[in-house]
Copies of this chain bind each other. A is one copy, B any other.
Amino acid sequence: MKGFTLWFTGLPCSGKTTLAREVEGIMLERGVRVEVLDGDEIRENLSKGLTFSREDRNTNIRRIGWVSKLLARNGVVCIVAAVSPYRDIRREVREWHERFIQVYLRAPLEVLKKRDVKGMYKKAMAGEIKNFTGISDPYEEPENAEVVIDTDLDTVEISVDRVIRTLEMIDYIPHGETVGDYSEEEEAKIKARLKDLGYI
């Protein structure tokens, strides 16, 4: 099987790591080689000392992208979960890849502020964290994400299904049983998206 990178982008608390891990589980069930590069883990292993300035964020994303490229071109499905707020750098990293699928986790800021699993939004709003994406730092929405998920509306189950079905439809992964409930409407939406982007 040919490898590829599956890149989850979105604001803090949008569910990137959760979905990445769910998708990883399905890949493993299907016997696919898979690695998850999680933003926080990468900061520890590859980018200690970098700040959250635009320049340092871009450096961090380039490092993740460089590693994901190495894995992907060696037959691995590399799942990245990283805020990656800037469009130009996401585009640059995409260009390094032969196969690159972007998943945008969209959610209204108000919902994320309520979710606030680690209390980060609260700290950011109180001015205790600088350069916090969504509060004191910009997030540039993707224009051509292969998959868009509204994490305030779509359940985890349907979100995972949508990612997996997208990858199946373009034959990036072996087909398997669909998880959970899955409607014809949903199927049609995925097809339309992939047609728009020229995949099918």
Contact = CB atoms under 8 A, between A and B. Distances in A.
Interface of A: 33, 35, 45-46, 48-49, 59, 62-63, 66-67, 70-71, 74-76
Contacts of A33: 74-75
Given A70-B71, A71-B71, 5 more contacts: A45-B63, A46-B63, A46-B66, A74-B75, A75-B75
Contacts of A59: 48
22 contacts: A33-B74, A33-B75, A35-B70, A35-B74, A45-B62, A45-B63, A45-B66, A46-B46, A46-B63, A46-B66, A46-B67, A48-B59, A49-B49, A67-B67, A67-B70, A70-B71, A71-B71, A71-B74, A74-B74, A74-B75, A74-B76, A75-B75
Contacts of A45: 62-63, 66
A27 to B, nearest CB: 12
Nearest to A3: B74
Contacts of A74: 33, 35, 71, 74-76
A75 B75 CA distance: 9
A39 to B, nearest CB: 15
Nearest to A50: B49
A10 to B, nearest CB: 24
A157 to B, nearest CB: 28
Contacts of A67: 46, 67, 70
Contacts of A49: 49
Contacts of A46: 46, 63, 66-67
A193 to B, nearest CB: 30
